Structure 1
Amino acid sequence: MNMELEEIVFTIISHAGNSRSACFEALNLARNGEFDKANLCMKQAKEELSLVHNIQTGLIQEEAAGNKQELSLLLMHAEDHLMTASLAKDLICELIKMYEEKFKEKEIACNV
């Protein structure tokens, strides 16, 4: 694997990991009713994933132009990190919505 591809792979892993961590931090905040902070974390997670998707798109465009990359276990590992971070973001967004609904119901019950 050439150095440039190695740097790309580790950049993908790093940003995907940052995104996944921000998602789980958001989930913990939402569990405690801190939805504004949770939403900020989810925004950060989405920004990290956007960076990774831009890198991935660049790799795809290069391959489409005939500049194929060597398929390596490390590149596949980076793609796994991206996919799990993306899935975590989608699922945690839904869980945060559920927590918000739960907190709203609790507020309504307390105000009755």
Structure 2
Amino acid sequence: MEGLEQVAFEIISTVGTARSCYIEAIQKAKDGKWDEIEELFKMGNEAFNEGHDAHMKLLTKEAEGNSEGVNLLLLHAEDQLMSAEGFKIIAEEFIDVYKRLKKLEDK
């Protein structure tokens, strides 16, 4: 396996890790484990950035006229990239809501 398939699997793997970190951060927020959330987001963001960088390299090649084509695996990788980004946004919102609820409980 080389070329496009290798990059697609790299994207899928890294953004899958990122999505898992964001989901786990929501679960930690439910339990009020605020210290652990920051580390999960750091790990998630690092993994997401790796996947995003790999995707950007493909886009750059495409813009330079060196396309390797499109296949179902690449489409899946791009779908996973967007899904992870969506989970990050949702996780940030949920964590904010849990923090607000905790403040109200503490009053």
- Number of the residue aligned with 1:38: 37
Distance, in Å, in 1 between the alignment partners of 2:72 and 2:40 is 31
**Structure 1, residues 33-58: CA drift from partner, whole Å, max 9, x if none?**
00110121112111111111111111
1:29 CA drift (Å) = 0.4
1:15-45 per-residue CA deviation (whole Å, 9 max, x = no partner) reads: 0110011011111100000011012111211
Match of 2:90 in 1: 91
Moved over 4 A (4+): none
Give the Cα–Cα distance (whole angstroms) in 2 for the partners of residues 73 and 63 of structure 1: 17
Paired with 2:34 and 2:100, the residues of 1 have a C-alpha distance of 11
Provide, for residues 66-96 of structure 1, a one-character-per-residue CA deviation record: whole Å limited to 9, x for no partner.
1012110110001011110110001111100
Q: Which runs of 5+ in 1 are unaligned?
A: none
User: What corresponds to 2:27 in structure 1?
Assistant: 28
State the number of aligned residues: 107
Normalised TM-score (structure 1): 0.91
Amino acid at match of 1:10: F
Distance across 1 between alignment mates of 2:103 and 2:36: 17
Which residues in structure 2 correspond to 1:1-112 (within 5 Å)? 3-108=2-107
Partners of 1:20 and 1:53 in 2: CA distance: 13
Distance in 2 separating the partners of 1:51 and 1:11: 8
The structure number with the bigger radius of gyration is 1
Write the distance in 1 (CA, Å) between the matches of 2:64 and 2:25.
39
